[in-house]
Structure 1
Amino acid sequence: MSDLPVFDPSQIPELLPFDPMDPVVHHNPYPTYEKIREEHGSTYTSPLGLISVLSHKAASQVLTSPKFGWGDNPMMHDQMVKAPNDPDGPLRPVLQFMDPPDHTRLRRLISRAFTARTVERLRPKVAEYMVKLIDEATAARDANGVVDLHKTVISPLAPMMLSELLNVPEKYHPRFLSFFRASATGIDPSFLLTPEQIKARDDARADFMQVGMELAAERRLDPGDDLVSQLVVAEQDGDALDEGEVAISIMMLLSAGTGATTGMLANCAFTLLRHPEQIAWLREHPDQIAPAVEELTRFDTPLQSTFRTALEPTEVAGVPVGAGQPVIVLFGAANRDPEAYEDPDRLDLSRRTSVNHLGFGHGIHYCLAAPVAKLTTQVALQALMGLDIELADDDPARPAGMVMRTIDELPVRLGARL
């Protein structure tokens, strides 16, 4: 067990080499990451023993080594839930906070349902949704031609797409939207959340898992070609998901899918609109949309950090790590590592080394929703590049947080289709 105590906000200076709630860091963390790297190198060990990992090489080591996992990391406890079919049972971790062999079994079964075919069939639907949402955004412009692209296009797209993936009946949509909103901030450690945010997170999880149970029961009686049906029937070597695991898996996929997709599209669109020369390049090279999205994600990844625990004595970047010692991997810093990327603070959509970025993690916990987020972002950006569009505000509001970095609004001046 880790000797690290349960955290509270007053311990931030003893935990991290920066304050994630500092407005300067909140606005742009990358100069802070670089300063820490210059002063401390690949890692920084705090007075309370939390090791911050900043280099791409060291981050990759932590994420792929079996000597690191979740163990008894206090951060994991924030993400544990009770299965709705066993309310008196123990708290269970969701997939991304499990260690092998439980993680191996569950991910293998879910992956069989989350196939390339399942994801690829969303492509025409995303394009169809974008036509509808752009029309609605155009109609919502003010007298100066300005509209909030986040409110009108980016925020609605992920719920629409994921409802399609899960074939969610319309009667559930209001409850889904409540869960989407609560899950966005609920991924942060509890010591960074208000009591109201924690309650909203926990209530939304409980309600959504009940929805998952109801959907799973319906699909067992009347299976279709959607992801819930595939989760219900997923089986390998005589092993299948129980009712609680199906509900928890649906909650995890919706939470990860919503956060990854909305955050990725928002960051990519904002970054691209701040670099008109890159927009011009992309319009001239539309076939390069996939690698362009990888570079945009590297440049300003929505997933900024994750925690791990040393499961046995080991080392990272030459620094000894004791069994049970906690580690935080700073994806944002690793993706701007000058040893991994030439001129890392420059956005270059023609860059071909971006594919190894850590924006979706790495190793056995690589984000299961990454293919959905990438496909959605590719199709959405292609649609936006077909518009006469420019930023109306280059400093949009951002939600406070440590794990996710994204924006709450994206005012743009929207013209006609090109």
Structure 2
Amino acid sequence: MTVTADPFAPEFRNDPAPAYEILRDTGRLHEYRPGIYLVPHYADCSTIFADPAFGHGYFSGINPFRPGIDPRTLPGSFLLMDPPDHTRLRAMVAPAFTSRAIAQLRDQITHTAIALLDKAVATGEVDFVTDIAYLLPLTTICTILGIPPADHETFGIWASAISRGLDPDALLSDNEKQARAASVLAFTEYFTELIGRRRTAPATDLLSALATETALETKELVDIAVLLLIAGHDTTMNLIATGLLALSRNPQQREILRADPESSRLAVEEFLRFDTPVPFPTRVAMQDVSFAGHTLPRGTGLILLIGSAHRDPTAFTTPNSLDLTRFAPGQPTPRHLAFSHGPHFCIGAPLARLQAEILFTELMTRTPNFTLLDPTPTYRASVSMRGPQSLPVRMPA
């Protein structure tokens, strides 16, 4: 079935829900380009994530989203791997990102969040995206990797250029592709030098542990470091920014969180569903496979419309409404797919959740009467990452 609405069209950038509804109502698979299909339903997206017949296909040379490209030249190529290489590298990194390990960062994250919010309150009016949502995850992931504070700003610039470059090349300008390439090179040079120093004089950071306690090669370490920086920064920034936007637009739900700031853990799960930071992950058929009444040849590309899956009324009640109690214990709510699931489940999920939980707890404790100064902000042009470009906010004490 051919596509009946284009969720990537500019007119749907700020609100893709109408496009999602059309796609869900008109089929399970929609051919977006020859050999590439859109998948709009929750059950189908969930099934594909868990099915080993679907992967990334880069290192098998069958990925249709960047045909012919050497995946080793792409940022964070660890993310693009399939088992067994993906499994091997993930196992080496995973211990640092368990819920127990991440919980040890609570005090440091809380200190950073409080400092950012107190500064914003003292200033009065800030851009919530650049002054808070951007800085909290950047500071956190740089600290985990052992990046000196003096380099954080430069890292943020490089990370933003690479994040923008995650979109298909056909959607990028020449300047954006050049900025991505330059940032990948800069990261590679920086991390190669830093890893060399950590091998001989380790510190207490994650990069030191990986450099001295594993058999990872320098190129593998660089790829992991770049991946953790990009995945751990932009996605959390957008989660925090869209969460604030959702609260601003839903005053009754905001009052729920204001009455009980400690319920932010549940609120974060609903923010992840309501306006998903990574709305269009992709998968590739690693073999000929039958799905949704179609025969998909090996190398067929699937764009999983997670944003649409999260608004699927067959999975969620009143899916277009924000409900901060939706994921409370005892509720018959299926898990959201914001972090995927199966072998490629997001390794940084506990860290993203903890940062957002702390930020919203402190926000509702320190400045619950914040006011969004632009009720209709523009979303970023990226299709890989979803979040507002800016959020001017008044933040009274």
Asked if these proteins are the same fold (TM beyond 0.5), I'd say yes
Number of aligned residues: 386
Structure 2 Cα separation of the partners of residues 39 and 16 of structure 1: 9
The answer to whether 1:383 aligns with 2:362 is yes
Q: In the TM superposition, what whole-angstrom CA distance separates every residue of 1:313-339 from its partner, at most 9, and x where no partner exists?
A: 212233321222111111101111111
- Structure 1 letter corresponding to 2:12: V
Cα deviation digits, residues 153-177 of structure 1 (max 9, x gap): 1111121111211121234334312
| Aligned mates of 2:180, 2:341 — CA distance in 1 | 26
* RMSD, matched Cα: 2.1
Which residue identity is paired with 1:96? L
User: What's the CA shift string for 1:118-167, capped at 9, x where partnerless?
Assistant: 422221112111222123223333xxxx3321122111112111121112
Contact 1:305 1:331 in 2 (8 A): yes
Give secondary structure in 2 for the equivalent of 1:385.
helix
Identity of aligned residues (%): 34
**1:181 CA drift (Å):** 1.9
Residue 367 of structure 1: how far off its partner (Å) = 1.5
Q: AA paired with 1:303? A: V
Match of 1:35?
A: 22
- Aligned pairs for 1:44-63 (under 5 A) are 44-46=30-32, 48-63=34-49
Query: Structure 1 residues 291 and 323, CA, compared in 2 at 3 Å: closer, same or farther?
Result: same
Shift of 1:103: 0.8
- Assess, with a 3 A threshold, how the Cα gap between structure 1 residues 288 and 202 changes in structure 2: closer, same or farther: same
- Bigger mean CA deviation after superposition, 225-234 or 288-297: 225-234
Contact kept, 8 Å, 2:7 with 2:20, in 1: the verdict is no
1:325 to 288, 300, 305: 300
Instruction: Pick closer, same or farther for the CA change 1:377–1:365 going to 2, 3 Å.
Output: same
Please give the residue correspondences for 1:204-215 in structure 2 after superposition, counting only pairs within 5 Å: 204-215=183-194
Contact between 2:273 and 2:336, CA under 8 Å: does it hold in 1? yes
Aligned to 1:88: none
Q: 1:47 to 1:156 in 2, by over 3 A?
A: closer
| In 1, Cα distance between equivalents of 2:178 and 2:2 | 25
**Residue 12 of structure 2, aligned match among 20, 25, 36:** 25
**Quick check: 1:254 aligned with 2:229?**
yes
Tell me the SS of whatever aligns to 1:339.
coil
Q: What corresponds to 2:260 in structure 1? A: 285
| Shift in alpha-carbon separation, 1:18–1:197, aligned structure 2, 3 A | farther
What is the match of residue 381 of structure 2?
A: 400
Deviation by residue 1:238-263 (Cα, 9 ceiling, x = unmatched): xx211110011100100100112111
How much does 1:43 deviate?
Answer: 2.0
Indicate if the aligned counterparts of 2:37 and 2:302 stay in contact, CA closer than 8 A.
Answer: yes
Q: Does 1:271 align with 2:209?
A: no
Are positions 1:124 and 2:107 aligned together?
A: yes
Gaps of 5+ in 1: 1-13, 83-90
Counterpart in the other structure of 1:86: none
How many Å separate the matches in 2 of 1:211 and 1:47?
A: 38
Instruction: Tell me the distance in 2 between the aligned counterparts of 1:372 and 1:320.
Output: 39
Q: Offset at 1:112?
A: 2.8
Gaps of 5+ in 2: none
Question: Which residues of 2 match residues 140-159 of structure 1 at below 5 A?
Answer: 140-141=123-124, 146-159=125-138
Paired position in structure 2 for 1:70: 56
TM-superposition CA deviations, 1:216-249 (whole Å, max 9, x none): 12221222321112221343xxxx2111100111
Task: Tell me the alpha carbon deviations over residues 27-52 of structure 1, each in whole angstroms, 9 at most, x when there is no partner.
Answer: 10011101111122x22234613221
Matched, 1:297 2:272: yes
Per the TM alignment, residue 15 of structure 1 is displaced from its structure 2 partner at its CA by: 8.3
- Aligned partners of 2:98 and 2:350 also within 8 Å: no
DSSP 3-state at the match of 1:74:
coil
Cross-structure match for 1:87: none
Structure 1 counterpart of 2:156, one-letter code:
L
> Does 2:84 align with 1:101?
yes
* Contact 1:136-1:152 within 8 A present in 2 as well: no
Report the TM-score when normalising by structure 2.
0.91
